Amino acid sequence: MAPMTEIKDLAAGRAALAICESLLIALTELKVLNDHDARGVLEDAAAAHRGVESAAPDAAIHTEAAHMIEKIISVRNALPPR
């Protein structure tokens, strides 16, 4: 079993991702953001993680974060291509 600190960090990351994803869905459903803008938010977030230098100590974490965000984009069929 992972140390409690690691479990809490992983849980915090998952909670943050779920909250942000839910907020984007709610904002598009309420017409505060259109689908194009919501996709742009996700693409910008993924690009920020992809932009981290490969020599950075946490580069693998950023790469995985970018992949997770890109998966959200790909499974959200309601978002039209940009």
Is residue 22 included in any domain, yes or no? yes
Is residue 82 included in any domain, yes or no? no
Q: What is the DSSP letter of 31?
A: T
Residue-level pLDDT, tens digit, the chain, 82 residues: 678 888 998 899 889 988 998 999 899 999 999 989 999 999 999 999 999 888 888 899 999 999 999 988 888 654 445 4
Is residue 81 included in any domain, yes or no? no
Q: Which domain, by its residues, includes 42? A: 4-75
pLDDT value of position 77: 53
Task: Check: CB of residue 65 under 8 Å from CB of residue 49.
Answer: yes
Is residue 29 included in any domain, yes or no? yes
What span, in angstroms and rounded, lies between the C-alpha atoms of 61 and 64? 5
Total number of domains constituting the chain: 1
**Side chain identity, residue 41:** V
Q: Which residue has the tokens 């904002």?
A: 27
pLDDT value of position 79: 47
Q: What is the DSSP letter of 80?
A: P
By the 10 Å C-beta count (0-12 exposed, 13-18 middle, 19+ buried), 69 is classed as: buried
pLDDT value of position 6: 87
pLDDT value of position 74: 87
pTM for the structure as a whole: 0.76
Is residue 80 included in any domain, yes or no? no
